[in-house]
Amino acid sequence: MIDNVVGPSVGIAVPTPVGFGGWRAFRRHRLAVIALAVFGVIVLAAVLAPVLPLPDPNAQVLTDRLLPPSAGHPFGTDELGRDQLVRLLFATRISLWAALQATVVGVVLGVPLGLLTGTVGGRLDGIVSRAFDAVQSIPALILAIAVVAVLGRQLTPAMVAVGIAFAPTFYRVSRAAASTVAGETYIEASRSMGQKTIRIVVDHVLGSVVAALVVVISTTFAFGILAEAALSYLGLGAQPPSASLGSMLTSAANLLNASPQLTVEPGLVIVLVVLCVSQVSDAVQAVASAGDGG
């Protein structure tokens, strides 16, 4: 199709899924591969934290308060003598779980509806889209704070609220990808065979949406981490004695002069996680768009 390549062309790019070929292309983005590995290690450590032979994160040793990093305490201790490294591990666990909650809620609410309205269109599309428009006008954190104000200081409802606030983005992306695919002739072909709409969505549409969704999932996840940190910083998130990265930041803020590393450590972990997720998502996006057109 050489003649089409250089002439004026109307190209509608359908995102290709990150399938087998996509993984190979992804591997070329070395920074993203490293980021994925680092993220993997962090997740693994956080997941395995309870079963690893580690000291109790809540064990207070008041004689060892605010110690700088040493052999016994690689990251030092906090104001109650608790080992910072172990606390970080458990805090990461909580933060990651929080971000996951928000993401899952966003996906479950936004993606199926987006795929459906993108494929089918019509009046359903009009109604549902307007509903999501309304939700999108509410800022995520405000919604989370409102939920906390009503239900009390629990992390899960707050993150669900963040998820709801993110659902419109999932909806929009799924709907856009689905409606691009819905116009393709092979969809009409499936219909002409008598295939039901749900099956068409699952068989044909879902796969093409995956690439675009990976990007949104990464963004939501990263935001989830930051949202949780913000909520906890405001004292609305994880409650003592359990800590999240955000609440560790809060309590360390007062001790900035005495032990600056107490703020830096959780802060760095947040930055690291968000960076890794962004790198991976950038690479996925690059791989997905490289597969378009041509």
Q: Which residues bind other proteins (CB under 8 A)?
A: 1-10, 14, 16-17, 19, 184-186, 188-195, 199, 204, 207-208
Between 9 and 254, CB nearer to other proteins: 9
Instruction: State the nearest-atom distance from the C-beta of 184 to other proteins, in Å.
Output: 5
CB of 177 to other proteins, least distance (A): 13
How many Å apart are CA 64 and CA 184, to the nearest integer?
67
In the complex with other proteins, the residue whose CB is nearer, 210 or 245, is 210
Query: What's the rounded Cα separation, in Å, for the pair 106 and 117?
Result: 16
CB 235 within 8 A of CB 215: no
- Please classify residue 239 by burial: count the beta carbons closer than 10 Å to its beta carbon, then call 0-12 exposed, 13-18 middle and 19+ buried: middle
Among left, alpha and beta (phi > 0; psi -120 to 50; other), residue 152 is: left
Unique residue bearing structure tokens 């005495």? 258
Minimum distance between the CB of residue 1 and other proteins, rounded to whole angstroms?
6
| Of 63, 13, 26, residue with least CA distance to 176 | 13
CA distances from 219 to 26, 99, 180, 233, 277 (A): 18, 10, 22, 21, 8
Q: Choose between 29 and 204: whose C-beta lies nearer to other proteins.
A: 204
- The distance of closest approach from Cβ of residue 284 to other proteins in the complex, given in angstroms and rounded to an integer, is 17
Helices (H), strands (E): how many in the chain? 12, 0
Q: Please say which residue, 28 or 41, places its beta carbon nearer to other proteins.
A: 28
Judged by beta carbon, residue 154 or residue 190, the one nearer other proteins is 190
For other proteins, which is the closer residue by CB, 195 or 285? Answer: 195
Least Å distance, CB 249 to other proteins, is 44
Least separation in angstroms between residue 291's CB and other proteins is: 10
Backbone angles phi, psi at 205, to 5 degrees: -85, -40
> Residue 186 Cβ, how far from other proteins at the closest point, in Å?
5
- Our CB check for other proteins shows the closer of 1 and 52 to be 1
- Give the CA distances from residue 150 to residues 102, 144, 158, 224, 269, in Å, rounded to whole numbers and listed in that order: 18, 10, 10, 20, 31
